[in-house]
Structure 1
Amino acid sequence: MTARQRNNVRIIGEGTRPMIFAHGYGCDQSMWRFMVEAFAHDHRIILFDHVGAGGSDLSAYDPERHGGLQGYADDVLEICRELDLRDVVFVGHSVSAMIGVLASIREPERFAKLVLIGPSPCYVNHDGYRGGFSREDLEGLVEVLDSNQLGWAGTMAPVIMGNPDRPELAEELRNSFCRTDPEIARRFARVTFFSDNRHDLPRVTTPVLILQCAEDAIAPEAVGAYVHDNIPGSRLVRLAATGHCPHMSAPDETIRAMRAFL
């Protein structure tokens, strides 16, 4: 099986510089449609689904490989090698921000820039570090997901999207959560919420843009500031957009910030 088949890779656009979009937990490549429209005329856009999401090949899921974020980073690198991609602009949302960080550390020569949307290196509060959640809170969230994926999706989608005046956005996110393979979703949730990549941040040598939303219940402003403080030379932009998915709720503002960086 090729990486293109495994991850349902699509390539579009009229440009030559590659731009990879990597979706967050419970999402798929369709969430990038507004970004694609803005960048396809001058970039070669690479879209894909993490194994378990969208049109990916579920049989490619490997509990050992995908039991940590490095396995997902290796999937990204295999896509890059198969397509012979270099000078890549990697755009990662939420958990995929750290997946991009890991990929860039392993093969820095492939990446020109990283755009990290709502990144969090660690969701769990530790002494002196505020990730936004206690371990007990996250254990409770994952237990609900284990027992009732549909109920979890209905409860969490509005919290994550954070735009109560636009319920259609939360509904799209809820539907995406429900489409994700349930068993893989449960395992990926634990990988997402209990990984700790704080020690990896200083190892990043690729230029980085951090896009931090206001009122983000998943990756609060203190986390964005921490990522900025610990990635040498990174640029932090605080968006007026609220919630955790500005590429969906505020695409114009997100695109402007990305263009200024690129």
Structure 2
Amino acid sequence: MSETLQSKPCHSALITKRNNVKISGKGSQTILLAHGFGCNQNMWRFVLPHLEKHFNVVMFDYVGCGNSDFSAYQESRYQHLEGYALDIIEICDELNLQSVIFVGHSISSTIGWIVADQRPELFSHMVSICPSPCFINYGEDYQGGFERSDLEGLIQLMDKDYIGWGNYLAPMVVGAGLPKIDANVDENDQLINELLTSFCSTDVTYSKPFAQATFFSDCRKLLPKISHPCLLLQSSNDALVDVSVGEYTQQKLKNAELKIIEANGHCLHMTHPMHVFDHIQSFIEND
């Protein structure tokens, strides 16, 4: 069961500044975009122009990421995914948002499920891009993709060689080195360098707790509690999240559909933005 953290009173102007909230677009429905670990709201720029034509779009940076207010960082709060979920809750409350379409990349999918469990009225639909409720292998019952010891070694590398850690993780996230599925997709060094810069531009003081919360959380028991219509977008070739994890997640959620996109890597919104937009639009229109 997820822990419920209490929000401290904060003026809306401070919330929007704290989380670097940006609002754009037009439409009767609001869509809230939540970036993944090591990323920031700029990662949505490839799909943003398409979304802005149909939705009121809200983007933000978690505290400790991107251009958020790092002075607002609270160590005890952001050691747990619930602390990041509270960022979303406070943003929604201060902007008077309810029944929004939530789109989460990677661990933000899990953070979104925490929010949906605590405050179900905030979301109408949920879209998860390459989600994983747990990255750790638990015998034959669940294969999250990694042994705990391997993840512990990855976290230790952050302290010993932060740049080396980024150089290891960034190509894995982008999907570089895997056989190309679509010759028209440009999976080059540009995205790797962008992710590497994003990973390593944040002080390890802020990124390490988020990494630990990301890779060591087990939120599988949360899935059956979520009743919102959910769309899961999964890469066919993702070194971080296997297709079997997407299938598991779909089975455990009450109302979910899974779409497999023929692609490499963990960032479909960056490498295949039109595929992501088309699936989101179809999901909302056909619900």
Checking the alignment, whether the CA contact within 8 Å between 1:91 and 1:116 is kept in structure 2 is: yes
Distance 2:34 2:41 in 1: 7
Q: Is structure 2 residue 281 aligned with structure 1 residue 259?
A: yes
Structure 2 counterpart of 1:146, one-letter code: D
Identity of aligned residues (%): 42
Distance 1:17 1:252 in 2: 19
Moved over 3 A (4+): none
Q: Is structure 2 residue 54 aligned with structure 1 residue 54?
A: no
- Residue 158 of structure 1 is matched in structure 2 by 171
Q: Report the CA distance between 1:60 and its aligned residue.
A: 1.3
When normalised by structure 2's length, the TM-score is: 0.89
Q: Is structure 2 residue 108 aligned with structure 1 residue 96?
A: yes
Structure 2 counterpart of 1:103, one-letter code: V
Q: Is structure 2 residue 191 aligned with structure 1 residue 169?
A: yes
Checking the alignment, whether the CA contact within 8 Å between 2:235 and 2:261 is kept in structure 1 is: yes
Checking the alignment, whether the CA contact within 8 Å between 2:27 and 2:56 is kept in structure 1 is: yes
For 2:205, what is the secondary structure of its paired residue? helix
Decide which of 107, 114, 120 is 2:119's aligned counterpart. Answer: 107
Q: Is structure 2 residue 227 aligned with structure 1 residue 205?
A: yes
When normalised by structure 1's length, the TM-score is: 0.97
Distance 1:52 1:71 in 2: 11
Distance 1:218 1:50 in 2: 22
For 2:239, what is the secondary structure of its paired residue? coil
Structure 1 counterpart of 2:152, one-letter code: E
For 2:46, what is the secondary structure of its paired residue? helix
Q: What are structure 1's unaligned runs of at least 5 residues?
A: none
For 2:134, what is the secondary structure of its paired residue? coil
- Between structure 1 and structure 2, the one with the greater Rg is 2
- Residue 64 of structure 1 is matched in structure 2 by 76
- Residue 125 of structure 1 is matched in structure 2 by 137
Structure 2 counterpart of 1:191, one-letter code: A
Task: Give the paired residue count.
Answer: 262
Structure 1 counterpart of 2:229, one-letter code: P
- Residue 184 of structure 2 is matched in structure 1 by none
When structure 1 is superposed on structure 2, of 224-233 and 157-166 the one drifting more is 157-166
Structure 1 counterpart of 2:154, one-letter code: L
Structure 2 counterpart of 1:125, one-letter code: N
Whose helix fraction is larger, Structure 1's or Structure 2's? 1
For 1:76, what is the secondary structure of its paired residue? helix
Distance 2:167 2:244 in 1: 27
For 1:209, what is the secondary structure of its paired residue? strand
Q: Report the CA distance between 1:163 and its aligned residue.
A: 3.6
Residues 5-57 of structure 1: CA deviation (Å, up to 9, x unaligned): 21110111122311110000100000001221111122111110011111101
